[in-house]
Amino acid sequence: MKQIFLAILMIATLGVTAKNITKTILVKGECGECKEKIEAALDMPGVSFAEWNEETKMLTIRFNDKKITEDDIHNTISNLGYATDRLEANKASQAKLSKCCQPKEVKKACDDKKSCCSGTKKQ
């Protein structure tokens, strides 16, 4: 009887074990300011690593799937104002982003150096 109980307990424990998952997600940001906002927003319980690449637009994230889901990550990014490969940006949050952080289809090119968060014109 002890052996059966122990076997059941071991099997149940295997199903509850958390996994650290590493994913890459397309996040449609534009600049260094976007990078800071995206990475800061993902500094949350369950996320052990988050780095967004400005050139490739790819977020590499490592998270504990028992504490946070991939859907939670996409929702966090969307609510910040950025679209992902799975979810559109929250329009109200997107409208509050700096001009240079606006998606190309939404913004007009920075025509004033002072209005760009990087201090240089976008090409």
Q: Examine residue 123 and state whether it is found in any structural domain, yes or no.
A: no
- The string of pLDDT tens digits covering residues 8-52 is 656 555 555 668 999 999 999 999 999 999 999 999 999 999 999
Q: Examine residue 99 and state whether it is found in any structural domain, yes or no.
A: no
Q: How far apart are CA 110 and CA 104, in angstroms?
A: 10
Q: Which string of DSSP letters, residue by residue, matches the chain?
A: -HHHHHHHHHHHHHHH---EEEEEEEB---SHHHHHHHHHHT-STTEEEEEE-TTT-EEEEEEETTT--HHHHHHHHHHHT--BSSSPPPHHHHHTS-GGGS-TTTSPPP-SGGGSTTSS---
Q: Examine residue 26 and state whether it is found in any structural domain, yes or no.
A: yes
Q: Examine residue 34 and state whether it is found in any structural domain, yes or no.
A: yes
* 38: containing domain: 17-91
pLDDT of residue 111: 47
- The string of pLDDT tens digits covering residues 47-94 is 999 999 999 999 999 999 999 999 999 999 999 999 999 999 999 999
Based on the structure, what is the number of domains in the chain? 1
Residue 36 sits in a domain whose CATH number is 3.30.70.100
